[in-house]
Amino acid sequence: MRVRVHRTPLCRIIVPHDPLPRTKMDNVLWHHGGALVAGNPGDLFRLGALFRLAAVSPRSVVYLPLSQGSQQMVLMHQGIPVRPSAWPNLRAMVRRARPAGPTTGVTC
């Protein structure tokens, strides 16, 4: 699996080079957060590897744009200090593939 890595001063953001084409989030029951639906075994295997990477890497954030354009998932270790207010800038940086740092105002 190929990934792109974007470095920030406090963490690195990992984005799969090829999105998971048949994976989507689906609201199964109203009182649950929903479910991930993987369309084929290959996507399920890649999804598991990305979950594992986020769980064992204390300085990595995994960004997954899913098959439907408005859905996205962010996986990270609980010790990463990513503020919710910083995420729109981080997402824009990843989409434009520009470097992060003091000049862009993007930090975790």
- Span 8-60, pLDDT tens digits: 887 888 888 877 777 777 665 555 566 667 778 888 888 888 889 888 888 88
- Cβ-proximal residues to 77 (8 Å cutoff; 6+ apart), any chain: 54, 55, 56, 57, 58, 59, 60
Alpha carbon distance 46, 80 (integer Å): 23
Query: What are the residue ranges of helices labelled H in the chain?
Result: 41-56, 87-96
- Does the predicted TM-score (pTM) go above 0.85? no
More confident residue, 96 or 29: 96
Alpha carbon distance 93, 38 (integer Å): 27
Q: Is residue 100 over pLDDT 60?
A: no
Of 56-60, 65-69, 82-86, which has the strongest mean pLDDT? 56-60
What is the share, in percent, of the chain residues with pLDDT greater than 90? 1
